[in-house]
Amino acid sequence: MGSVPVYPWRLAPDGLATYRQLRAKGLRPGGSSVVAQLERPRRRREPLVAYLYSLDAAKPVRPMTPAKWAALAKANAARRICPTCGHDRGYVIPTSLGQCVRCADSRALAA
């Protein structure tokens, strides 16, 4: 850092926002770049610094909704179900076997 413009507190140009201001709008910094910083002088101390992000580059925060969690849980559950015996084995069916270990074992024994 050190190459970004520094503005006095409350004099940030339009189109820039701090991380907290972005979150308040339901946004997050797009990319990772701090485009400017604000400094508030403090008596006998280092100035207070706030990093500013571009509002144009900001992206909406996509929180996990209950429906998304449910869909994820369902997808994970489906990956635990053996296509051969139809049991939820409690672990993800190995793609190398294409079925649960028990089914793969019994087929190996039968062969």
Site string for Zn ion, 26-65 (x = CB under 5 A): ----------------------------------------
Nearest to 51 by CA among 13, 24, 26, 17: 17
User: With binding defined as CB under 5 A, does residue 101 bind Zn ion?
Assistant: no
For 78-93, letters b (16+ CB in 10 Å) and e give eeeebebeeeeeeeeb
**Of 35-43, 53-61, 65-73, 76-84, which segment contacts Zn ion by CB under 5 A?**
76-84
Report the alpha-carbon distance of residue 70 to residue 6 in Å, rounded: 45
Determine the interface stretch with Zn ion among 20-28, 57-65, 66-74, 94-102 (rule: CB under 5 A): 94-102
The minimum distance between CB 83 and Zn ion, in angstroms, equals 8
Nearer to Zn ion, 23 or 87 (CB): 87
Cα–Cα distance, 56 to 72 (Å, whole number): 31
H/E element, 71: helix 66-80
- For Zn ion, the binding residues (CB under 5 A) are 82, 84-85, 99-100, 103
